[in-house]
Amino acid sequence: MTESDSRRHKSVGSDLPSSAYRLGIDTAGREHYHDPMTQHIWVARDSDVVHERDLDGRSVVAWVLFVDEKLAGWAERHPVEEAGGLESIVEDVARRLDA
């Protein structure tokens, strides 16, 4: 995953696409948003976007696992939405198991 340019003055309330949904809140209190149409992640603190990332064709499950295993973990997490549907999720999990 490559990091996109940081746009710290974005606001969660008005600047995210309508197709974005809240993925969850990590244990540090940051809200994570995902847009399945553009495969993009936004992380916000106090309604301000503090981090953005393109998934570069990877499943959002990779981001969920990254937050869970490498960052603070999840305090609250909602079901993921994929543009490719369940088949895409299953394929991504299978690739991770084979690695």
CATH number for the domain that contains residue 35 = 3.10.450
Question: How far is Cα 90 from Cα 4, in angstroms, rounded to an integer?
Answer: 27
Helix (H, G, I), strand (E, B) or coil at 70: helix
Q: What is the pLDDT along the chain (99 residues), one digit of tens a residue?
A: 444 434 334 556 668 999 999 999 999 999 999 999 899 999 999 989 999 999 998 889 999 999 999 998 999 999 887 766 555 566 667 667 766
Whether 2 is covered by a domain: the verdict is: no
Q: Please report whether residue 3 resides in a domain.
A: no
**6 within some domain:** no
Residue 63: per-residue pLDDT: 94
Q: What is the DSSP letter of 18?
A: T
Would you tell me how many other CB atoms lie within 10 Å of the CB of residue 84? 12
Domain contains 71:
yes
Whole-number Cα distances in Å, 16 to 32, 48, 84:
12, 11, 21
Of 47, 4, 2, nearest to 22 (Cα)?
47
Give a yes or no: residue 7 inside a domain. Answer: no
Q: Which DSSP symbol is given to 3?
A: B
Domain for residue 61, yes or no?
A: yes
Total domains present in the chain? 1
Which residues span the domain enclosing 72? 12-98
The verdict on residue 1 lying in a domain is no
